[in-house]
Chains A and B, each alone.
Chain A
Amino acid sequence: MIHLKNCLFNRENGFHLTIDTLKIEESSRVILVGASGSGKTTLLRILAGLEENFLGHYEIDGVARDHLGSLKERGVMFLSQDFLLWEHLNVIEHINFVLNRGKHLKNTQESLYFLEMVGLVHKKESKIYQLSTGEKQRLALARALSAKARYLFLDEPFSNIDLVLAQELIEIIEQRQNIDKFALVESTHHHLGFEKETNQIVILNSGKIIQRGTWHEIQNSPKSSWVEKWVNLV
């Protein structure tokens, strides 16, 4: 479990993020929703351990932030909306790097499996500049899933692709979640997969959590005008 308590984060431009408490349970799915600039990405990065300059308590699996090991030892993986692919490696080498834990770039038994999962086997030798935006997105997802992390963070992962492909990718993620049992924390603007009762939705506004609960709970009693408008649009 990841536990964030009494968190205060300040940016130079005057933005503040204040979180009283937020827990990410094992194998759960937490969806962060909010207007642009509400602090979704910042919160996601703090939860993933990528932002360190904040005040407050943060722990992963009972280990407090001062005693945490390296990023590699924490069992987290972060998928950014910028994909962050490595330009000098080809498609399959991205998966190989992760599966071999950075030791070498040779193919493993699972390399093709992960590429097949996102439909990129035919592009396995391609360089990054030869891929389309959708293909880059799928490669970034395959790379994130092949890490078999215990906590997977997705920062608006489907913002640049069509809804049909987004739905397909969500199904792939859910399928892998059933196998690997990772916790999934996702910031998003779309509404795919919201309705499941097991999914926790956290709504942010101006750096604060203004409501949390399942889709039905939020739908039945929206606590602000923004949430009401959002529910009606979804």
Chain B
Amino acid sequence: MNNLVKLILLSVLFSPILLNLFDLVFVLSNDYDLLNYFFKSYTQNLIKNSFLLSTTVTVISILMGAVMSTIFFAISSKNLRYIYIMLIFIFFAIEPIIYLSAFNTNSLFNSISAFWQSSIILSFSMSALSGLVFIFALSSLNQESIKTALMVASKRDVFKLILKPQLLFILSVSFFIFFILVFSRSEVPSILGYRTYAEDFLAQVFLMDEIKSSAIAAMPFYLLALLISLFVALFIKKYHIKFSIKEQINFLLIDSLDQYTVKAFFLFLTILLGAILTLLVKKIDFYLLGDLIEDNIFIILNSLIVSLVVSVLTLVFSLFIYKTVKEFKSRLLIYGVIFLIFLIFLTPSTLIAFEIIKMMQFINIHTEFIEYLFFILASSFKLIPLAILLVSILYYRDVEDESLQFFNITAKDYFLKITIQTYAKRWLFIVMIISVFALNELSMAILLTPIGFEMIIIKIYNLLHYGDTSTVTFLSLMQIVIIASFLMIVWRIVDKVEKKKMDTRG
């Protein structure tokens, strides 16, 4: 594929965000007074609230993620590691709103302030996400090079001068990303009565339906994207950080962590999850279980199919973007794409959905197929940044071109026989993470799904307002159970195939 075609494809992929930027420039160039919105003490208070909440949740999540990943590497049994990953994944897959419905009747929880209530609820899934990211990031470190350092220096010094600088990049990027994820969340703090900027932003978009206000209100997200892009660009330039996964993970620095601590933490996580699940299950009316299943089976299937298609498509787009950008010679172009990627990540889904609706109106073809296509593409588009981050952490090696030339293998054969088999487990991990986000993406689903097509998240949102906790909890639990089971089955199959391959090699 030549460079011009790649650039055109990239531009098409990034078109919603480019149009969005154009809106902002257009609005600002016509009316500078709109910026006064940021000088109102009301707006400033909301931004301050959001910063406080985001920072608190991010710090808690990173600390918890560090503990979770440390425990993971201290687990000696491979099977126990699978269970542990599953456990963390379930914590991550549960929507914050579900944690809230589990805790909202607890008197201890109700006695604390709305700020701390929001922080605790949002920290559950964010800590789990942080744990998953850290586990995979730490796996990419070269254990042998750390052992070499340990031959001359103490564990403390090796951590300070060898390990920490290598982890700094992933830690800082994670910090920013978790910050943004919390910054753009509005449902939980809003229900708990803690006013945030994200809530006001949604109000601007939904209530006023005014392109000017929404474009201006999106500015802090753009500024954050610019800052993060600059940071990443500087870091890449300074350190030339590369990641490569080592299959045999046994992180030396925590070898000495005793197994009692590991088991105690394991038990704590299991009891915590058990308690949350029990609180949730208690809210289901079991005598209505048959009806619940019958009424919702198609919605569950719809949601699963959509989330899987979206996540696979997102992975394909992300691999294409990652590979294309790596081949760019111009640093400016690379940094430009990094900026756009962060911009997509930060831009609220609602705004992207509006751009997609505008595009559909421009195309002016109103068939069911086009509606589904744009909904799927828009959902993938929003998740591209997260997938690219995961792809870059899990390092996609560029050995294809050389091998194709040397061994005269067709691109199709190489992809089917080498690439897929090498990266299956890593891609599966990405697909699973992305599918959870796809399942929980509310704004895209509300604004873009064709009429008559229901998804779990829309039904949860609608029923929450009517107080039907039984159906809401049932749908959420079903979602979690299906994802967890799917992940476990596929992961075991991949593992068995790999083991079989090793046995055949002798």
Please state if A97 and B152 are interface contacts (CB–CB under 8 Å): yes
Closest to A74 in B: B151
Task: Give every chain B residue within 8 A of A80 (Cβ-Cβ).
Answer: 144, 148
Which of A2-10, A56-64, A81-89, A163-171 lies at the interface with chain B? A81-89
Q: Given that A14-B506, A105-B161 are contacting pairs, would A86 and B154 also be in contact in the complex, using a CB cutoff of 8 Å?
A: no
Among A71, A103, A149: residue with most chain B CB under 10 A: A71
Please state if A103 and B157 are interface contacts (CB–CB under 8 Å): yes
Complex Cα spacing A102 to B150, Å:
9
Contact of B150 among A13, A71, A82 (CB under 8 A): A71
Q: Give chain A interface residues in 130-189, CB to chain B under 8 Å.
A: 147, 149
Q: Given that A14-B506, A86-B145, A88-B165 are contacting pairs, would A102 and B151 also be in contact in the complex, using a CB cutoff of 8 Å?
A: no
Please state if A147 and B149 are interface contacts (CB–CB under 8 Å): no
In the complex, whether B329 has a CB less than 8 A from a CB of chain A is: no
Task: Give every chain A residue within 8 A of B32 (Cβ-Cβ).
Answer: none
Complex Cα spacing A102 to B505, Å:
41
Please state if B502 and A102 are interface contacts (CB–CB under 8 Å): no
Please state if B153 and A97 are interface contacts (CB–CB under 8 Å): yes
Closest to A147 in B: B152
Please state if A102 and B153 are interface contacts (CB–CB under 8 Å): yes
Closest to A50 in B: B147
How far is the CB of A70 from the nearest CB of chain B, in Å? 7
Closest to B242 in A: A87
In the complex, whether A196 has a CB less than 8 A from a CB of chain B is: no
Q: Given that A80-B144, A127-B240 are contacting pairs, would A101 and B153 also be in contact in the complex, using a CB cutoff of 8 Å?
A: yes
Q: Give chain B interface residues in 74-106, CB to chain A under 8 Å.
A: none
Please state if B145 and A101 are interface contacts (CB–CB under 8 Å): no
Task: Give every chain B residue within 8 A of A104 (Cβ-Cβ).
Answer: 161
Complex Cα spacing A87 to B149, Å:
13
Per-residue 0/1 for A97-138: is the Cβ within 8 Å of any B Cβ (1 yes, 0 no)? 110011111000000000000000000000101000000000
Contact of A84 among B148, B154, B502 (CB under 8 A): B148
In the complex, whether A72 has a CB less than 8 A from a CB of chain B is: yes
Task: Give every chain A residue within 8 A of B147 (Cβ-Cβ).
Answer: 50, 71, 78
Per-residue 0/1 for B139-167: is the Cβ within 8 Å of any A Cβ (1 yes, 0 no)? 00010110111111111011011100110
Complex Cα spacing A14 to B502, Å:
10
Q: Given that A13-B502, A86-B149 are contacting pairs, would A102 and B154 also be in contact in the complex, using a CB cutoff of 8 Å?
A: yes
In the complex, whether B362 has a CB less than 8 A from a CB of chain A is: no
Interface size class of B (residues with CB under 8 A): 20 to 34
How far is the CB of B51 from the nearest CB of chain A, in Å? 31
Complex Cα spacing A86 to B153, Å:
14
In the complex, whether A76 has a CB less than 8 A from a CB of chain B is: yes
Complex Cα spacing A12 to B506, Å:
9
Please state if B153 and A72 are interface contacts (CB–CB under 8 Å): yes
Complex Cα spacing A78 to B147, Å:
9
In the complex, whether B239 has a CB less than 8 A from a CB of chain A is: yes
Task: Give every chain B residue within 8 A of A31 (Cβ-Cβ).
Answer: none
Task: Give every chain B residue within 8 A of A129 (Cβ-Cβ).
Answer: 240
Closest to B144 in A: A84
Contact of B149 among A82, A97, A105, A149 (CB under 8 A): A97
In the complex, whether A77 has a CB less than 8 A from a CB of chain B is: yes
Task: Give every chain A residue within 8 A of B144 (Cβ-Cβ).
Answer: 80, 82, 84
Task: Give every chain A residue within 8 A of B505 (Cβ-Cβ).
Answer: 13
Closest to A143 in B: B148
Closest to A97 in B: B161
Tally of A-B Cβ pairs under 8 angstroms: 75
In the complex, whether B191 has a CB less than 8 A from a CB of chain A is: no
Task: Give every chain B residue within 8 A of A14 (Cβ-Cβ).
Answer: 506
Q: Give chain B interface residues in 184-228, CB to chain A under 8 Å.
A: none
Please state if A78 and B151 are interface contacts (CB–CB under 8 Å): yes
In the complex, whether B411 has a CB less than 8 A from a CB of chain A is: no
In the complex, whether B241 has a CB less than 8 A from a CB of chain A is: yes
Please state if A102 and B152 are interface contacts (CB–CB under 8 Å): yes
Task: Give every chain A residue within 8 A of B240 (Cβ-Cβ).
Answer: 87, 127, 129
Please state if A84 and B152 are interface contacts (CB–CB under 8 Å): no
Please state if A102 and B506 are interface contacts (CB–CB under 8 Å): no
How far is the CB of A131 from the nearest CB of chain B, in Å? 12
Complex Cα spacing A82 to B145, Å:
9
Closest to B153 in A: A102
Complex Cα spacing A102 to B253, Å:
15
Complex Cα spacing A106 to B489, Å:
52
Please state if A70 and B150 are interface contacts (CB–CB under 8 Å): yes
Complex Cα spacing A206 to B456, Å:
59
Q: Given that A80-B144, A86-B162, A88-B165 are contacting pairs, would A13 and B152 also be in contact in the complex, using a CB cutoff of 8 Å?
A: no
Task: Give every chain A residue within 8 A of B162 (Cβ-Cβ).
Answer: 86, 97, 102
Task: Give every chain B residue within 8 A of A78 (Cβ-Cβ).
Answer: 147-148, 151
Task: Give every chain A residue within 8 A of B161 (Cβ-Cβ).
Answer: 97, 102, 104-105
Per-residue 0/1 for A1-40: is the Cβ within 8 Å of any B Cβ (1 yes, 0 no)? 0000000000011100000000000000000000000000
Q: Given that A12-B502, A102-B158, A102-B161 are contacting pairs, would A88 and B166 also be in contact in the complex, using a CB cutoff of 8 Å?
A: yes
Complex Cα spacing A110 to B155, Å:
24
Please state if B154 and A72 are interface contacts (CB–CB under 8 Å): yes
Closest to A148 in B: B152
Task: Give every chain A residue within 8 A of B148 (Cβ-Cβ).
Answer: 77-78, 80, 84
Complex Cα spacing A149 to B148, Å:
12
Task: Give every chain A residue within 8 A of B142 (Cβ-Cβ).
Answer: 84
Complex Cα spacing A87 to B162, Å:
9
Please state if A13 and B506 are interface contacts (CB–CB under 8 Å): yes
Please state if A101 and B157 are interface contacts (CB–CB under 8 Å): yes
Task: Give every chain B residue within 8 A of A85 (Cβ-Cβ).
Answer: 145
Task: Give every chain B residue within 8 A of A127 (Cβ-Cβ).
Answer: 240
Complex Cα spacing A141 to B6, Å:
44
Contact of A77 among B152, B155, B239, B241 (CB under 8 A): B152
Among B147, B162, B505: residue with most chain A CB under 10 A: B147
Please provide the 4 A-B residue pairs with the shortest distance between their CB atoms, ordered closest to farther: A102-B153, A102-B157, A84-B145, A88-B165
Question: Could you list some 22 contacts between A and B, CB below 8 A?
Answer: A13-B505, A14-B506, A50-B147, A70-B150, A71-B147, A71-B151, A72-B151, A77-B152, A80-B144, A84-B142, A84-B148, A86-B149, A86-B162, A97-B153, A97-B162, A98-B153, A101-B152, A102-B153, A102-B157, A102-B158, A102-B160, A147-B151
